[in-house]
Copies of this chain bind each other. A is one copy, B any other.
Amino acid sequence: MTTGPWMHTLVSRLYPLCRSITGDGVRQTLAIVGEHLPLTVHEVPTGTPVLDWTVPQEWNIRDAYVADASGRRVIDFRESNLHVVGYSVPVATRLPLAELREHLHTLPDQPALVPYRTSYYAPTWGFCLAQSTLDSLPDGEYEVCVDSTLADGSLTYAEHVVPGQVEDEVIVSAHVCHPSLANDNLAGIAVAVGLALSLENPYYTYRFVFAPGTIGAITWLARNAQRIDRVRHGIVLACAGDRGSLTYKRSRRGDAPIDQVMEYVLRDRPHEIREFTPYGYDERQYCSPGFDLGVGSLTRTPYAGYPEYHTSGDNPDLVSPESMVDTLEVLREAVAVLDRDRRYVNLSPYGEPQLGRRGLYDSLGGRSDAHDAQLAMLWVLNLADGQHSLLDTARRAGLPFTSVAAAADALLAAGLLKDAP
């Protein structure tokens, strides 16, 4: 199967699972991802302090419904896990509709869609349903059942590492806590898997983090605080499969290398660059001021930017194989630039070195149509002062990064460059 259909199949397979920030849905998700990538799965016990937070109790759910007087399920977890507010406490009771309403969530402006709601840190229960369904419910008493458990257990996250030539790391982070929502974030998971599978002997070590949003990233950061300075670049992947064009949200730093690389690889595609905001996905944590990592976020239509966002409309039909392939392709281009970008020092910085003597320059002079390859060498030599990266050089020269990188390779082979200190 080619990459696009393969990623879409993965999205569809993960779709029915009831994920949350803890519990078996996350484990099942990671088990399926683990069929494609070797994963190291971490279980962090309830109560573990992580930065300013504490790992919460584990939530699992077997069934949930609201049934009418006749016993018919009018809201049914088995139809869609979105029907239950995430982390709902167990309940078995009968209530008149008026009281039940206080536990029901709808989208009056999108009456056919079921919203996605959670209540991780305030113990309550609730159901989500279409406004049209609510409108059709007659008064009367209803049976309410949430067959869930909230108990000490653990928070589950996983890593996949592709070793690089250096220990410096690039992290690719995708949240795995949303239940039946396809674009947010099963598409991000699928594209991350596709990227991991495409890496061959990279320069940097690439670490893929599949963790629940917020608390998962916080847990990962807490457990990796001592080695966080290895993280040189990173990207948070979300909403990677809808049919909109790509959006890159800069890191808090605004001009980190990842920001420059993403802007560069997106330059010839329809795209939007957004400034950092401390709202959105787990870039919130990676870019908190104490860490301030060079981590941006790549999405197609961004956070909360499409009408199906956080509703039952975010199903596998919203995600297209072609869009996921496009997201993956941009990431692969970004990896190619990130991995090859380097700063050099010209070892013959006084005047131009004689390239012709080294076979690097046309012997016939006078022509005004200098080849790109020669121009690229002159640019690399001129800017190889330890300050300018190859990407800086490509942008300033208006030459493709690949030409500039090839020029640097030729000059390295000729002994004219060394790595910048």
B-contacting residues of A (Cβ < 8 Å)? 51-53, 85-86, 115-122, 124, 214, 217-218, 221-222, 225, 252, 275, 277-279, 284-285, 287-292, 303-304, 309-310, 346, 348-354, 356-357, 363-368, 370, 375, 378-379, 381-385, 396-397
Q: Which residues of B contact A277 (CB under 8 A)?
A: 379, 397
Complex CA gap A121/B366 in Å reads 13
A21 CB to nearest chain B CB (Å): 10
Contact A382 B285 (CB under 8 A): no
With both beta carbons as reference points, the residue of chain B lying nearest to A217 in the complex is identified as B351
Q: A118-B366, A217-B351, A285-B352 are in contact. Are A382 and B252 (CB under 8 A)?
A: yes
Specify which of B287, B368, B396 is in contact with A310 (CB 8 Å cutoff): B368
Q: Which residues of B contact A378 (CB under 8 A)?
A: 278-279, 284
A196 CB to nearest chain B CB (Å): 25
Q: Is the interface of A mostly helix, strand, loop or mixed?
A: loop
Contact B279 A351 (CB under 8 A): no
A122 CB to nearest chain B CB (Å): 3
Q: Which residues of B contact A379 (CB under 8 A)?
A: 277-278
A48 CB to nearest chain B CB (Å): 14
Q: Which residues of B contact A252 (CB under 8 A)?
A: 382
Specify which of B119, B221, B348, B365 is in contact with A119 (CB 8 Å cutoff): B365
Residue picked from A122, A218, A350, A366, most chain B C-beta under 10 Å? A366
Contact B115 A288 (CB under 8 A): no
Contact B119 A353 (CB under 8 A): no
Contact A121 B356 (CB under 8 A): yes
Residue picked from A222, A303, A349, A382, most chain B C-beta under 10 Å? A382
Contact A363 B119 (CB under 8 A): yes
Specify which of B225, B279, B289 is in contact with A383 (CB 8 Å cutoff): B289
- Cβ contacts A to B, 9 pairs, < 8 Å: A117-B365, A218-B352, A278-B379, A278-B382, A284-B352, A289-B385, A290-B350, A303-B368, A304-B368
Question: Which 3 pairs across A and B sit closest by C-beta, in order of nearness?
Answer: A290-B349, A122-B363, A304-B368
Q: A52-B354, A278-B379, A368-B309 are in contact. Are A288 and B349 (CB under 8 A)?
A: yes
